[in-house]
Homo-oligomer: A and B are copies of this chain.
Amino acid sequence: MSQEYFKSPKKKGKLAVFLSGRGSNFIAIHDAILEGKINAEIALVFSDKTDAPGLKIAQQRKLDTLSLNPKDFNSKQEYEQEIIKELKNRKIDLICLAGYMRILSPHFCRQFTNAILNIHPALLPAFPGLNVQRKALEWGVRYSGATVHFVTPDVDMGPIVLQAVVPVKQDDTEETLSQRILKEEHKIYPEAIKLYFEGRLEIRNRLVYIK
């Protein structure tokens, strides 16, 4: 998998953005595309939640959207198979997880090796998983941040593309810390996608080199 050598393609990319909530990173990515900063188009905004606010925004922005409810499928496998079919039909180059609250199966990940990015609101490998900002506050770290990484079957363990650091303040709440981190997320996620389709990301031995 990502042990092998990989070089990202230099091309106009077809993106699928996966979200479960408001999708503020989706908006940041789309804005960057509209501003001509990323050589890509969003060919699909996908959600597991029919009522995800981000899905509505995508519709307002005239983007192709799809929501599939896992409960309408007999198994996770069937659910993912349907998603994979939709992605293949649209010749998606890169999947960007943007607050997508489901874990992709190893099978799914292997269908899109080196072609799934995620953003995580901490300096991985610190604070993987959920409730990340709360964990950072409970730990009492002085700095936290955000990480854009490739998605592999090991959740939150894939090769790191970019990180950004923010200070943690003594009077921070989950909300204030999240907001500070989110600002950085909205910078580094578009930047990572930009680098990807400039053909500038190489992976060797799970390390991402920016050329």
Contact = CB atoms under 8 A, between A and B. Distances in A.
B143 A165 contact: yes
A129 to B, nearest CB: 13
A178 to B, nearest CB: 18
Nearest to A208: B140
Interface in A101-145: 123-127, 138-143, 145
Contacts of A125: 126-127, 139, 141
A159 interface: yes
A152 interface: no
Interface in A79-112: none
A60 to B, nearest CB: 34
B143 A209 contact: no
A208 B138 CA distance: 11
Interface residues of A, number: 23
A140 to B, nearest CB: 4
A180 interface: no
How many copies are assembled? 2
A163 interface: yes
A160 B145 contact: no
A143 B145 contact: yes
A3 interface: no
Interface string A27-47: 000000000000000000000
A208 B76 CA distance: 44
Given A141-B160, A143-B165, 13 more contacts: A123-B123, A123-B126, A123-B143, A125-B139, A126-B126, A138-B207, A140-B159, A140-B206, A140-B208, A142-B160, A142-B162, A143-B145, A143-B163
24 contacts: A123-B123, A123-B141, A123-B143, A124-B126, A124-B141, A125-B126, A125-B139, A126-B126, A138-B206, A138-B207, A139-B160, A140-B159, A140-B160, A140-B206, A140-B207, A140-B208, A142-B160, A142-B162, A142-B163, A143-B145, A143-B163, A143-B165, A165-B165, A170-B209
